[in-house]
Each structure stands twice: as C-alpha cells, then as structure tokens.
Structure 1
Amino acid sequence: MTTIRTAVALSTAVLAVSLGAAPAHAAASDAVCFSGTRTPTGDGYYEVSAIGCDGHSGTSVTIRFGSAAGTYDCGWTFVWNGQLGADNCTLTSVPA
C-alpha cells in the first residue's frame, strides 16, 4: 500500500512540474478553414462563410486561401460538417 501511495505522489509531483514548466503559447484560432467569403455588414464588421474547416465554434477564425484569407475575431461562429458561418467579425490580420 505504501508503494502505491509513493508512486501516486511521485506521478502527481512530476505532472505538476511538467505543467508548470510549459511555455506560454499564442492563442490559436478556434476554427481554421481552407477558403471562404466575407460580406461587409456595416461599421467595419463582416459576415463570414467558409468551407473545409477544422476546429470548433469560438471567436477566432482563420481562412487560409482566397479573397477572404485572414484571421477574424467574431461575435458568433458555428462550425458543422466542415462548414463555418460567422457574424460580427472583424479582420485582425491578413497573410503576407
């Protein structure tokens, strides 16, 4: 029984040290899509539609190719079966 407790304590300590030593990462997009379109809706916002998407619904969307390529911060997104719909988006960066 003491051996099991010692092993659990050591495993927990190693995990805590490993997690504490993890480097900070920049926030990644919630959804990354192959291509898409954007439609201005006024006041600098866009409605964005895209296909070939991986990821999940969230606030950040990256479109890799096409006239809508770039990264967007959106008020609402929905990803389903590789397709994305998003509203109240602002373009935050464009590919170089």
Structure 2
Amino acid sequence: MAFGAHIKTEGIPGEALDDAYKDCIEITGYGFEMHQSTSATASSSGGTSSGRSSLSDFTFTKALDKASCKIIGTVCAGKHLKEVVLSLTPRRWRQG
C-alpha cells in the first residue's frame, strides 16, 4: 500500500513499529463497500430517486502477530467490538 494503515481496538493490542501507533495493529490491506441503488424514476426535484444504502463487512489483512489469537478468539466467540479505529497515513519513503 502507498500508505500506512493501523487499527486500534480496546482489548486487542498489536505490535505496530511506529511509536505514534503504539499498541495498534499494522494492517497490509483492507476492504469496505457502500452501495446505493438508484431508480430510473424521476424524483420531484428532477433527478433519479435513490433506494436504500447497503454496507459490506469491513475486512482487513495483516501479518501474524500477538493480536492474531485474540482476533480469532473474538470472531469465533461471536463477540462484537465496540469500536475499531482505522488510521491511514502517508508512507514516508527513505532514499538510500
């Protein structure tokens, strides 16, 4: 990825190497989709009318680290995470 990506959630510490993201989980990729259907029927304002929005699951990939077992255990137990924060930052490339 052309950017750094980290996830932070309570109770599942990661091993991110960047000091700014202590206890965060470094991820290598993620996916999330949103869709809103539209109708060819015109609305009262002249545009197309829109239907309901649908959201996909948020998925991510990461290397095996100390957070892996806790993530697997949480998923297998059917527990929900109260809050998951995704941070995206520009990669700092080093010339050398």
| TM range, smaller chain | under 0.3
> If you compute each CA radius of gyration, which structure gives the higher value, 1 or 2?
1
TM-score of the aligned structures, taking structure 2 as reference length: 0.24
TM-score of the aligned structures, taking structure 1 as reference length: 0.24
Higher-strand-fraction structure? 1
